[in-house]
Amino acid sequence: MRLVTLSPHDSVLLHESIFQLPAGQHNDFQHYLVRDAGIGADPGAVDRHFAHLGALLAAAQQDPASLPAAADELALLHYAFNDMLDRFNPRQLAFGCLVVEVNGEPWADRSEEGLRRLLTWLSGAGLTEERVADIVATVKKNCQRS
Amino acid sequence: MRVHFPARYGGAERETQHYYQQQQARTVALADYILTGAPKYLDAVAELDAWLLDQATPEIFDDGAPENVLTLNRRRFGHLCATLADQGFPRPHELTVFDFNAAIDYLAEKNKTA
């Protein structure tokens, strides 16, 4: 397990390897990572969907078979834009799935609402987006490579 | 996972490697075009772009769609949990990821030899 210190008074304890992380929590972690990779919720994700939509529409000019994929991509662009406006951050929620304890107290509420509440509190306590991205990437790597 | 369970997770690594090789071939073709100006390299880039676009088919996230990728993943996990519970593993979602996959491997092997 890994103890992440956020301030002199605040810390979170996390699972970080396949030998500790329960399968149910890992499945929730993957759920938000799939959502992050497939939709995303930041300006970079919106740009990627615009670029992909443009490429699919250009391909559809040669072969109309690409049009259904372009329609799906348009839906993803719409979701990414909405999630960005709604400040819904799937990568942060993936991080929340790894949390075991907050300031020594067990954290058991892993509903989407519970995770959003947890992340709002952790952000206030000093958790940064960079740190979330770094820890999520490390755990993802641990799970793939081990 | 691919170290401990290569039969189930090795395929994803091979796919990633193939994708990476195609990206590498595209970069080389583009560099060749810049260096020589020969149109055949531009054709190769266009061909590889078409292949890469084909690989990046958008996944479905529509609520209520049967092919919603999140729903399919949850259902798949639920089926694995139900299979493990049937075989005497109580509360399988509480097993560690390693123990969960080891149990699935064990059952798969057992079924093969049965």
Domain identity same for B50 and B77: no
A79 reaches B (C-beta below 8 A):
yes
% of chain B beyond a pLDDT of 90: 63
Q: Are residues B86 and B108 in the same domain?
A: yes
**What is residue A145's predicted lDDT score, i.e. its pLDDT?**
65
- Is residue A52 within 8 A of residue A73, CB to CB? The reply is yes
Residue of B nearest to A71 (CA): B58
pLDDT at B55: 86
Q: What is the residue range of B14's domain?
A: 6-56
Residues B69-113 pLDDT 10s: 999 999 999 999 999 999 999 999 999 999 999 999 999 998 888
Q: Flag if B73 and A31 touch (Cβ within 8 Å).
A: yes
**Do B75 and B98 sit in the same domain of this protein?**
yes
A99 has pLDDT over 70: yes
- The answer to whether the Cβ–Cβ distance between A79 and B61 falls below 8 Å is yes
The distance of Cα B50 from the centroid of its chain, to the nearest Å, equals 20
Q: Does A67 touch chain B (CB under 8 A)?
A: no
Task: Please write the tens of the pLDDT for every residue from A57-96.
Answer: 999 998 898 899 999 999 999 999 999 999 889 999 999 9
- Co-location of B78 and B102 in the same domain: yes
Assess whether B77 and B36 both reside in one domain.
no
Mutate to test the interface with B, among A1, A20, A29, A72 (most CBs of B within 10 A): A72
pLDDT at A146: 61
Is A76's CB within 8 Å of B58's CB? yes
- Does residue A44 register a pLDDT over 90? yes
**Does the residue B101 lie in any domain?**
yes
Helical ranges in chain A per DSSP H: 23-38, 43-62, 67-85, 90-96, 112-125, 129-145
> How far is residue B53's CA from residue A46's CA, in Å, rounded to a whole number?
18
Q: Chain A residue with minimal CA distance to B94?
A: A22
pLDDT of B8 above 80: no
Q: Residue B29 domain-assigned? A: yes
Q: Which of B1, B62, B94 sits opposite A22 (nearest CB)?
A: B94
CB contact under 8 A, A69 and B74: no
Indicate whether B107 belongs to any domain. Answer: yes
* B61 within domain boundaries: no
- Using an 8 Å Cβ cutoff, are A41 and A90 in contact? yes
Tell me what pLDDT residue B44 has.
94
With pLDDT > 70 as the criterion, what percentage of chain A qualifies? 99
Tell me the two tokens of residue A16: 């970080």
Instruction: Name the residue in chain B with its Cα closest to that of A66.
Output: B54
Count of structural domains within chain B: 2
Task: Tell me if B62 is assigned to some domain.
Answer: no
Whether the complex's predicted ipTM is more than 0.95 is answered with: no
Residue B22 within a domain: yes
When the pLDDT of each residue in chain A is averaged and rounded to a whole number, the result is: 93
Chain B contacts in chain A segment 39-58 (CB below 8 A): 39, 52, 55-56
Does some domain include residue B63? Answer: no
